[in-house]
Structure 1
């Protein structure tokens, strides 16, 4: 068996297929078009493996995102290979076989996984068998129903990992790691990073908006009001196709984030675009070439795969954004805000390389007297989102407490609570589907490590005193001892 993923643009790049006319090929593609990234499982004779391939098709038509489909496909592929090696298939597999697959994934595979990863696998298997049950391929799922429902998961709740930055850590992260400066703000002449203005701007934008990496890294110039050389002081971005689970929300971009974009847009980006013209022109056939912005930048009109189309910007997928360029008359200008070599929008792996280079730069200066404390593991871009959430929650909580003290009534009205509740505001800003996700941040409003330091400060002040001396002092044993000796 072999697992593939659909890419109809690859067929468009080929142009002509022997034995099929161009018109017939276009008709076939339009009639059987699947969303890009749809998994296709083929057997050794290159025939679709059913009913798994049909399930993949149903996922695509239900608008499952590419990342989810890929994860589900890989899990299904591993399960089928595991069952086939034992002379079984999806219909003949029993609960014992599925549990053996779980044990293999957790303990016996060449590369074992942790339980949170298995929980994702179990979700894929459950959804696969739900489809097989619905179409009548199996009579029921091969595992028993428990009091908690039909679940193969570990039933262990995973706590949200909230790692945030203090101000000193963030400035060190942004300016030293990504910006190539020394901790004392001097220029580090040994810095060999690439595009420091771009990288500092991404840090500021991620921190000040709380956007996820798949949101800020795929932004287009019109979404920030930067088309035609525009420079708004602040703006609002309507997210949808690039948001998690395509959940729409509006994101406010403040002054500081917009201002830090200027050095990149004025100094670095024009040079990247100029050097990329040759590459962009060679890829012209593969690109979505926009010739006009409409509805104040909310829509784009251009040529895609030989057809003139109009697309709503917030509905454009990351893959489409990646190939979108504007025909300026003087050349092709990528519409992506953050671009790299060749004028391409950076991928997640590309941003990871930037992050690891920044981490190496931060570690190089870690012993400097002005360097803040660094974590043991490399900072993540998502830590900026956590920092945004916590700082906003702390500010709104203090503001709400101050408003309560000023009121004559012992408690605020229901309307005040609904409109100014800090958790609800932060939930809306982060785009969380459930308040329980936002509520997990509450436990981090006070740093538990700092509380431990405060609680034991008097102990550490005892200097080189022994444990016995400390115990006597804290339990007033020294006074009793003196009295008994007297």
Structure 2
């Protein structure tokens, strides 16, 4: 069996070769309603494998993220292959088959998985069988309800891994790793990296806003008020389509992040765009060519696949943002804020390569006098978000305590609690769906290991003898006994 994923733009390219004009092809795709990223499972004769293909279409029509659909599709394919080796299929599978598949994934496979990955697999299997029951393909799920739960998951509550940076670590990462400076803050003349101003600006944007990489890496110039040459001191961005779960929220861009964008916008970005003009012109028919910004930059109008369309900026999907360019008369100017060599928005894999190059550079200075202590594993961009959350929570908590002390109130009023609660403020800034997610940061407000050390420091000092002394004394006794024997 072969697993594919739909790509409407590739279909349009084939349509051009097949002789269909853009209008006919667009109408056909709209009529068939084939969303981007939808999985397709075909057999050896290139025929759709049912009922999986119908389930994939249901997931796509429910607007599941392409990344999630891809993970679900691979899990379903693994389960189907596992059942076929036992001469079973989705309809004849028993509870023992499903449990054996779990054991194979977690213990017996060539590459085993931990609880977190299996919980994702179990969610896919549960969703698949819920669909099969709904359409009457099977009478019931092949596994029994256990303790009131129908899920195959581990039942474990997984803690978020919060890895944050101290100030010296962040500055070292931003300026030395991404920016190509020496640990002494001097220019490294041997640095051969690319776009240090862009990379430093990206790190500052990630840290000072708390945005996820899927959010800050897909920002467009109009969203930051930069489309007409202005340089606002601060700005508010309305996130929607690119936010996690497409939950709308407003993100404040502080002065520090806006100022860091200045050298990139004045020096590097024009050079990147000018060098990419020939490549952009060759891909002109594949791009979303915007000819006008409307409603003070909140809407764009342009031609996509030969059709004139108008879209709200905040509702533009990431794949459309990446190919959006503006016809300026002097060339094609990408609407993307952060662009790569080809003149288009960097992909997540592109940013991953930037991150690893920065990490390798930072490791060169490990152990030197001006280099901070670095973690064993490479920083990820999400660590900037954790740092933002933790520092903001600490600051707001101190402010709330200071306000309460100034008012000399034994207990804050309900209104003060509702408007000034630090957890609720951080939850709103991060775009968490539940306060429980934000509450996980509370345990990191203080280092619990230092608390343990402090609690037992007097205990270990009061005894007058450490465990090393006790062990040495015991060893000497053993030697004396051996000599007497």
TM score, norm. by length of structure 1: 0.93
SS at match of 1:310: strand
What residue in structure 2 maps to residue 479 of structure 1?
A: none
CA contact (8 A) 2:325 2:333 kept: yes
What residue in structure 2 maps to residue 415 of structure 1?
A: 415
What residue in structure 1 maps to residue 69 of structure 2?
A: 69
Structure 2 CA distance for partners of 1:395 and 1:94, relative to 1, 3 Å:
same
State how far apart, in whole Å, the 1-side matches of 2:388 and 2:222 are: 24
CA contact (8 A) 2:338 2:346 kept: yes
Structure 2 CA distance for partners of 1:261 and 1:156, relative to 1, 3 Å:
same
Superposition deviation, residue 174 in structure 1:
0.6
Superposition deviation, residue 151 in structure 1:
1.0
Superposition deviation, residue 460 in structure 1:
10
What residue in structure 1 maps to residue 312 of structure 2?
A: 312
What residue in structure 1 maps to residue 249 of structure 2?
A: 249
Matches within 5 A, 1:178-257: 178-257=178-257
State how far apart, in whole Å, the 1-side matches of 2:423 and 2:77 are: 41
Q: Deviations over 1:97-128 (max 9, x none)?
A: 11111111112222222221111000011011
SS at match of 1:261: helix
What residue in structure 1 maps to residue 298 of structure 2?
A: 298
CA contact (8 A) 1:160 1:440 kept: yes
What residue in structure 1 maps to residue 285 of structure 2?
A: 285
State how far apart, in whole Å, the 2-side matches of 1:56 and 1:147 are: 30
For the pair 1:107 / 2:104, whether they are aligned, the reply is: no
What residue in structure 1 maps to residue 173 of structure 2?
A: 173
For the pair 1:86 / 2:86, whether they are aligned, the reply is: yes
SS at match of 1:354: helix
What residue in structure 2 maps to residue 448 of structure 1?
A: 448
Superposition deviation, residue 215 in structure 1:
0.4
CA contact (8 A) 1:95 1:143 kept: yes
CA contact (8 A) 2:359 2:378 kept: yes
State how far apart, in whole Å, the 2-side matches of 1:187 and 1:19 are: 56
Q: Deviations over 1:133-154 (max 9, x none)?
A: 1111111111101124101111
Superposition deviation, residue 27 in structure 1:
3.6
State how far apart, in whole Å, the 2-side matches of 1:84 and 1:3 are: 16
CA contact (8 A) 1:459 1:470 kept: no
State how far apart, in whole Å, the 1-side matches of 2:345 and 2:19 are: 37
State how far apart, in whole Å, the 2-side matches of 1:117 and 1:415 are: 42
For the pair 1:123 / 2:123, whether they are aligned, the reply is: yes
Root-mean-square deviation (CA), in Å? Answer: 2.1
SS at match of 2:10: helix
For the pair 1:323 / 2:323, whether they are aligned, the reply is: yes
Superposition deviation, residue 15 in structure 1:
3.8
State how far apart, in whole Å, the 2-side matches of 1:264 and 1:359 are: 21
Q: Which runs of 5+ in 2 are unaligned?
A: 472-485
For the pair 1:399 / 2:399, whether they are aligned, the reply is: yes
State how far apart, in whole Å, the 1-side matches of 2:20 and 2:362 are: 57
TM score, norm. by length of structure 2: 0.93
State how far apart, in whole Å, the 2-side matches of 1:345 and 1:154 are: 39
Q: Which runs of 5+ in 1 are unaligned?
A: 472-486
State how far apart, in whole Å, the 1-side matches of 2:300 and 2:437 are: 35
State how far apart, in whole Å, the 2-side matches of 1:385 and 1:419 are: 23
SS at match of 2:16: coil
State how far apart, in whole Å, the 2-side matches of 1:157 and 1:272 are: 46
Structure 2 CA distance for partners of 1:144 and 1:411, relative to 1, 3 Å:
same
State how far apart, in whole Å, the 2-side matches of 1:174 and 1:450 are: 28
Structure 2 CA distance for partners of 1:21 and 1:427, relative to 1, 3 Å:
closer
Q: Deviations over 1:430-469 (max 9, x none)?
A: 000111100000000012344456567789999xx96467
CA contact (8 A) 1:8 1:33 kept: no
Off by >6 Å, runs of 4+ in structure 1 = 19-23, 456-462, 468-471
Structure 2 CA distance for partners of 1:21 and 1:259, relative to 1, 3 Å:
closer
Superposition deviation, residue 29 in structure 1:
2.0
Structure 2 CA distance for partners of 1:217 and 1:24, relative to 1, 3 Å:
closer
Superposition deviation, residue 23 in structure 1:
6.2
State how far apart, in whole Å, the 1-side matches of 2:387 and 2:77 are: 38
Structure 2 CA distance for partners of 1:19 and 1:215, relative to 1, 3 Å:
closer
Superposition deviation, residue 216 in structure 1:
0.5
What residue in structure 2 maps to residue 34 of structure 1?
A: 34
For the pair 1:269 / 2:308, whether they are aligned, the reply is: no
CA contact (8 A) 1:95 1:144 kept: yes
CA contact (8 A) 2:237 2:250 kept: yes
Superposition deviation, residue 47 in structure 1:
1.2
